[in-house]
Structure 1
Amino acid sequence: MKKLNDAFAALYNGDNIVKLTELRYIPRWIVILIDVSIILLSILLSYFFLEKLHVNVNFPKYLFEQKLLLIVVNMLFMFVFKTYAGIIRHSTFFDLFKIILSSGCTVCTLLLINLETEILFGKPLYLYPILFLYFFISVSIMFFFRMVTKQFFNILIDYKGSSSKVKVAVVGVGDASVSLARAILHNANYSYRLSGFLTKRSDSHKAVLLGHKIYNIDHFFRNKDLISQFDAVLIIKEIMTKDELEEWMTLALDNGLKVLNAPMLSKMHDSDLVGGIRQLQIEDLLNRKPIKIENEEVKRRHFERNVLITGGAGSIGSEIVRKVAQFSPSLIVVLDQAESPLYELELELLEKFPNQEFKFVLADISNNYRLEKIFETYQFSMVYHAAAYKHVPLIEENPYEAIFVNVLGTKNLALLSKKYKVNRFVMVSTDKAVNPTNVMGASKRTAELFLQCLQNSENNTTKFIITRFGNVLGSNGSVIPLFRKQIEKGGPITITHPNVSRYFMTISEACELLLYGGAIGCGGEIYIFNLGEPIKILDLARKMIKLSGFIPDKDIKIKFIGLRPGEKLYEELVSNNAVTIQTHLQEVMVSKDPTIDFNLMERLIKKVIKSAVKRDKVQVIALLKEIVPEFVSNNSEYEMLNRTMPI
């Protein structure tokens, strides 16, 4: 009622515009009043038609009572079937069904009354043509009123602020696409205006859907005047294959249209849909379907347990924290040496998970004395080790730092996990550890080998599990944020080599693999995802430029700067001498890599740590090459050590 008063109050306040689109619904008493008026009109029309045909009614002295009885009976069934309860602007054929039931039951009741009056008085109270005429007229007018009102609101909504709205063409004419289009039509506050549908079908070009034309893809993209009437195409990625997605994206971007991606309407409330529509991101264009793992064992492993997450303020570590917090552990200890990111994460998590207990610890994992106090205090059940140095050129210049964090830090955490009987220790590794050509990859492979050796060491009860990631899209220091910044500055985008390619996964996928491996691992395994085909970085850059509304090599230049120290053209997920085993999930494999004796491994690690303390680069690299024989430096100052004998 307040909305109605506000709308009509505008007649007396300034602009004198009745803001009908702000009405959420017409009050029920008004709908009832209108329906009663329609009933009365239908009765009058029914009697009028018979009068024009010179048909005499029965019991003319009681004509008023006949009409009143008809109104009362019909109103009774209106309340029984609640024909007034639906929101008029969202009327469907279900509302027509309720109207038919209401009027039909009215006619049936009056037919029974007719039967009684025939028995008592020899003739029916109502002429039968009047009842059937009334049924047809009342049903038609009631439903017509609802459809006209609905269409009127749709027109108002469609053109309300149309100049500022994004004019979109929804791709597809299936149920999901129509549901999406209907949601846009029925919500005035959305910043999108439905302007048509696009399809590959050739039999729909003359059809109209929800009052809008359906355009064939070939006809649409050949007509420049037609394209100019649209701002964007709106797709639902989940219902498309990779090739279809690539095709629609290319056609739209090449013709100056934005590409918007919408979620499936079934996955969210209608009111949340506008927040779900966003511009297509490069993450949407992986050469495979996103990997998602549902496993009840993951929840059980964390419920009411103490969990430690190192590197917890990083892009991957923080996402692990968010996912683990959903499983209601007793305590999550978030450890990181980066002060500001850790503080920002603390503010976020305390707001998002007010009932979850957190402990935020500022510490360096190379400090064993600091770590031991933490392990002693909290008695962890699970440890997720995501802390690492990962920037290849920086680590190539500062190899001892990789030893302190990636090797010594992992060793400290692993030995403490063994000592304090941690149930599972899960480490984040990288595909750069496979046949490494740089110090970063070699240091991570050293950490992998240490965990595998420790798994089989004496008196060990902890399950040490390794998860090997590809390049994680959107993580700190990854290529996607770098390209976005370069595009924002107007270019150029810098690429090391035209043929360089990488495996990619999303942050969410990385965490799925980590949690899954930690839940089912028996110890000593290296879990890897089947990441499909590697993606050429040059193709990635060109797609990002197009998605940003620019033309590659014209608006945004692409510059090749040469391979950086330690960098290689192609990454690998499995080493040459490893054996892969398929898990019961098609997307996940286990790599069985050769290991070495624990005592030998421990001696070598002590030597490489001692060399790092002395800042002896050459000795550090030589020892890494002994620990990881497949480590062959590439485009690096350490290439001279590739053929030297082990120390």
Structure 2
Amino acid sequence: MAIAKKIKVQFLKLIRPMVKNYVPRRFIFIIDVCIAFIAAQAAFFLIHSATGTDHPIFTFTWPLFAIVTIQALYYIVVKSYFGLVRYSSFRDVITQLKVTSLSVVTILLINHIYYLTSSTKLILDAGVIIYGFITFSLLFFFRVLVKRTYQSINASKNSISAYILGTDRADIAMGEGLISEHSDSFNIIGFVNLDNRKMLTRIYNLPIYSISQLKASNTLANAIIVSDEKLQHIKNEDSSILNELLDLKLKIYKLPKIQDYNNNPSFSSLKEVKIEDLLQRSPIKLNNLKLSELYKDKVILVTGAAGSIGSEIVKQLIPFSPKKIILLDQAETPLHDISLCLDKEFSSLTYEKVIANVRSKKRLREIFETYQPQIVFHGAAYKHVPMMEANPIESLSVNFYGTRNLAELATEFKIERFVFVSTDKAVNPTNIMGASKRAAEIYIQSLAKLPQQKTTFITTRFGNVLGSNGSVIPHFKKQIEEGGPVTVTHPEITRYFMTIDEACQLVLEAGGMGNGGEIYVFDMGSPIKIINLAHHMIRLTGLVPNEDIAIEFTGLRPGEKLYEELLADKETTLPTHHEKIMIAQATHTYDSSQNTQLSELLQLIKQNNIKEALQKLKFLVPEYIPVNIDDFKIDKNHVQPHQIASFSNISPKNISDKL
């Protein structure tokens, strides 16, 4: 036994490198011709044995040559040897049957024509039928043998046992592909039926289970595989199925959309379903013609280009063929990383990477003079609420002063459009980050109202972005990987969420709207409880919240609200041509008397005068109610509930608990 095992190991080592490469098609053709030769020899031997005549084995007579030649010609005509043998499927079986049938019919016709002219036959008609049967059997056996050998060699002890979700034609086709092509990573052990009316019991000799059967017994699999189309359907039409799947403690993998295959379909692109997949809403329809006219052949400056939002804006701009994109950021390593990504994925893109701090107006002026940008997307900002509470001047310096520098230069250099990326935290802010963003919004509005203003200033405002640097998603993911606990600040805390690509697409769309001074807010959908987000992320890993992974509440952080708003008090919205973008109509729009206050705030920031800068900020943004409310001598009895900061336990009435 030990010797046999060693021989097997050495054999696998010998042929493993061979099976990783494709065998040239001519070799498959030669093997198929040899199969035809062996089948013809066998047919002649059987016929002569039945008639009592001798027939030497492996003799090459001209009738045998004619039969093999006819078979070879049909191989070439039908191209039956072109497919990859290791991935043979039912379609290949039909192809081999077609080739063999055509050969048999042709040989029978030639047989009868030859008989009419010479009163003899190449081979008895029964021999032709026997030849066809043997040829097809050998061709089929050869392909099955190669396929099974390849699967055995590439089978991994670490392969994941998985179910296929669904029993529709598309699901069965997906199962066939996974069984044949990707058995080294996934061991398909069954199908899961979503329709109890279907009576099938087995597919590809694999059992079919219902979700209730899997819940009632200990499941044999570790994962379940679903197509992207089916995932979108059950997410939007029947979320109860999704919850049941999560309850099974299985990892969920999805097969990407067909259009994402890049003309090279492969089941190796299976990826784990992430929380972003469950929160992604219907695709956004952009006015590509209008955006192409706006951004095509333009020099575009993107600040904060190495960040999550900035880098995605850069990638979203590329399909519109800008003349050049200027990537501006103060973070050296992330800017280097994004440049490597662009070089690899968008080698034809013309871009410049620029290290600069938006607080340095002199440096920014050099950049404007050198590159002459025509459009600016301003995404550079400090965004972490608790950190900015501890460093208020830095928050004001970047978020307000930096924005002011860029906006003034945009006016001076007559930039066509200036798109400012703001945040929902600028609405009724309870923290310095949100208030500094609101002050920047006010300044942008002030410039937009200037007489003879040539630059169109646009402000976009949206909520949290899934997966952005420092956001809750990667934070939870790291905690789960470390075995927990997952920390949530408050059981009732809620947030609006968008995916990065969705937010940036809307930023680009909003950038082409308006006459200047508008604040565009995005349809963020329903707010989401952070505790529900934590539960779903834990369950997506196949674990159980508060059993496998603990969830702990740590209390609201400085400056943190229980919930965010997209519109301030008494604000309304006006629709735009895009269903997911609205214009905020505020009661506290820009007033020219604020110019002096804005200038004084700038001087206080330069002087690093924290106390007076915050007092001036409070005057500019009267809805700003900071955490340390006593410093501003405000009567708490006259403060609205939603304006109270981290000491508040009030949440809105219509908070959705659903993901």
Deviation digits for residues 254-304 of structure 1 (CA, Å, limit 9, x no counterpart): 444322233135531696745522222222221734646472443443333
Identify the residue that residue 562 of structure 1 maps to in structure 2.
555
Q: CA deviation at 1:502?
A: 0.4
Q: Aligned partners of 1:265, 1:35: CA distance in 2, in Å?
A: 38
Q: Aligned partners of 2:96, 2:340: CA distance in 1, in Å?
A: 52
- 1:352-501 equivalence runs, <5 A: 352-501=345-494
SS at 2:592 equivalent = helix
Q: Aligned partners of 1:212, 1:134: CA distance in 2, in Å?
A: 38
SS at 2:164 equivalent = strand
Q: Is 1:264 aligned to 2:262, yes or no?
A: no
Residue ranges of structure 1 left out of the alignment (5+ in a row): 1-9, 53-63
SS at 1:383 equivalent = strand
Task: Say which of 175, 191, 194 aligns to 1:197.
Answer: 191
The one-letter amino acid of 2:216's match is: R
Q: CA deviation at 1:137?
A: 4.7
The one-letter amino acid of 1:530's match is: D
Q: CA deviation at 1:231?
A: 1.9
Q: Would the alpha carbon gap of residues 597 and 286 (structure 1) be closer, same or farther in structure 2, given more than 3 Å must change?
A: closer
CA contact 2:490–2:555 (8 Å) conserved in 1 = yes
CA contact 2:93–2:140 (8 Å) conserved in 1 = no
The one-letter amino acid of 1:38's match is: A
CA contact 1:77–1:106 (8 Å) conserved in 2 = no
Q: CA deviation at 1:606?
A: 0.8
Task: Say which of 160, 178, 182 aligns to 2:176.
Answer: 182
Q: Aligned partners of 1:205, 1:303: CA distance in 2, in Å?
A: 56
CA contact 1:445–1:628 (8 Å) conserved in 2 = yes
The one-letter amino acid of 1:93's match is: R
Deviation digits for residues 74-99 of structure 1 (CA, Å, limit 9, x no counterpart): 44334333333333441433652564
Q: Would the alpha carbon gap of residues 71 and 338 (structure 1) be closer, same or farther in structure 2, given more than 3 Å must change?
A: closer
Q: Aligned partners of 1:157, 1:94: CA distance in 2, in Å?
A: 17
The one-letter amino acid of 1:34's match is: I
Identify the residue that residue 109 of structure 2 maps to in structure 1.
111
Q: Which deviates further from its counterpart, 306-315 or 13-22?
A: 13-22
Identify the residue that residue 30 of structure 2 maps to in structure 1.
29
Identify the residue that residue 234 of structure 1 maps to in structure 2.
225
Q: Would the alpha carbon gap of residues 247 and 639 (structure 1) be closer, same or farther in structure 2, given more than 3 Å must change?
A: farther
Task: Say which of 164, 167, 181 aligns to 2:158.
Answer: 164
CA contact 1:297–1:520 (8 Å) conserved in 2 = no
Q: Would the alpha carbon gap of residues 262 and 71 (structure 1) be closer, same or farther in structure 2, given more than 3 Å must change?
A: closer
CA contact 1:162–1:193 (8 Å) conserved in 2 = no
The one-letter amino acid of 1:168's match is: A
Q: Is 1:276 aligned to 2:269, yes or no?
A: yes
Q: Which deviates further from its counterpart, 622-631 or 530-539?
A: 622-631
Q: CA deviation at 1:616?
A: 4.2
CA contact 1:452–1:595 (8 Å) conserved in 2 = no
Q: Aligned partners of 2:382, 2:623: CA distance in 1, in Å?
A: 21
CA contact 2:33–2:68 (8 Å) conserved in 1 = no
- 1:469-618 equivalence runs, <5 A: 469-594=462-587, 596-597=589-590, 599-618=592-611
The one-letter amino acid of 1:232's match is: A
Q: Would the alpha carbon gap of residues 86 and 547 (structure 1) be closer, same or farther in structure 2, given more than 3 Å must change?
A: closer
Q: Would the alpha carbon gap of residues 642 and 405 (structure 1) be closer, same or farther in structure 2, given more than 3 Å must change?
A: farther
- 1:78-117 equivalence runs, <5 A: 78-89=75-86, 90-93=88-91, 96-97=94-95, 99-100=97-98, 103-104=101-102, 107=105, 111=109, 114=112
Q: CA deviation at 1:613?
A: 3.4
Q: CA deviation at 1:385?
A: 0.2
Q: CA deviation at 1:315?
A: 1.9
TM-score between both structures, scaled by the size of structure 1:
0.84
Q: Aligned partners of 2:569, 2:131: CA distance in 1, in Å?
A: 80
Q: CA deviation at 1:102?
A: 6.2
Q: Which deviates further from its counterpart, 382-391 or 582-591?
A: 582-591
Identify the residue that residue 4 of structure 1 maps to in structure 2.
none
- 1:232-311 equivalence runs, <5 A: 232-240=223-231, 241-242=234-235, 247=240, 250-265=243-258, 267-268=260-261, 273=266, 275-286=268-279, 288-289=281-282, 291=284, 293=286, 295-311=288-304
CA contact 2:425–2:434 (8 Å) conserved in 1 = yes
CA contact 2:235–2:242 (8 Å) conserved in 1 = no
Q: Would the alpha carbon gap of residues 634 and 139 (structure 1) be closer, same or farther in structure 2, given more than 3 Å must change?
A: farther
CA contact 2:428–2:623 (8 Å) conserved in 1 = yes
The one-letter amino acid of 2:164's match is: V
Q: CA deviation at 1:634?
A: 5.2
Q: CA deviation at 1:499?
A: 0.6
TM-score between both structures, scaled by the size of structure 2:
0.82
CA contact 2:496–2:528 (8 Å) conserved in 1 = yes
Identify the residue that residue 3 of structure 1 maps to in structure 2.
none
CA contact 1:157–1:187 (8 Å) conserved in 2 = no
Residue ranges of structure 2 left out of the alignment (5+ in a row): 1-6, 53-60, 640-659
Q: CA deviation at 1:141?
A: 4.1
Identify the residue that residue 61 of structure 1 maps to in structure 2.
none
Q: Would the alpha carbon gap of residues 114 and 555 (structure 1) be closer, same or farther in structure 2, given more than 3 Å must change?
A: closer
Q: Aligned partners of 1:392, 1:642: CA distance in 2, in Å?
A: 24
Q: Would the alpha carbon gap of residues 590 and 21 (structure 1) be closer, same or farther in structure 2, given more than 3 Å must change?
A: same
Q: Aligned partners of 1:343, 1:426: CA distance in 2, in Å?
A: 24
Q: Aligned partners of 2:619, 2:196: CA distance in 1, in Å?
A: 65
CA contact 2:416–2:454 (8 Å) conserved in 1 = yes
Q: Aligned partners of 1:642, 1:45: CA distance in 2, in Å?
A: 107
CA contact 2:151–2:184 (8 Å) conserved in 1 = no
CA contact 2:36–2:71 (8 Å) conserved in 1 = no
Deviation digits for residues 97-135 of structure 1 (CA, Å, limit 9, x no counterpart): 5643664376358537746965x68x79689xx65x567
Identify the residue that residue 3 of structure 2 maps to in structure 1.
none
CA contact 1:11–1:17 (8 Å) conserved in 2 = no
Q: Would the alpha carbon gap of residues 112 and 311 (structure 1) be closer, same or farther in structure 2, given more than 3 Å must change?
A: same
- Identical columns (%): 35
Q: CA deviation at 1:12?
A: 12
Deviation digits for residues 458-483 of structure 1 (CA, Å, limit 9, x no counterpart): 11122212221210112122112222
Identify the residue that residue 330 of structure 2 maps to in structure 1.
337
The one-letter amino acid of 2:73's match is: L
Deviation digits for residues 196-253 of structure 1 (CA, Å, limit 9, x no counterpart): 21122335565332342222221222121xx1x3221122343223167855554455
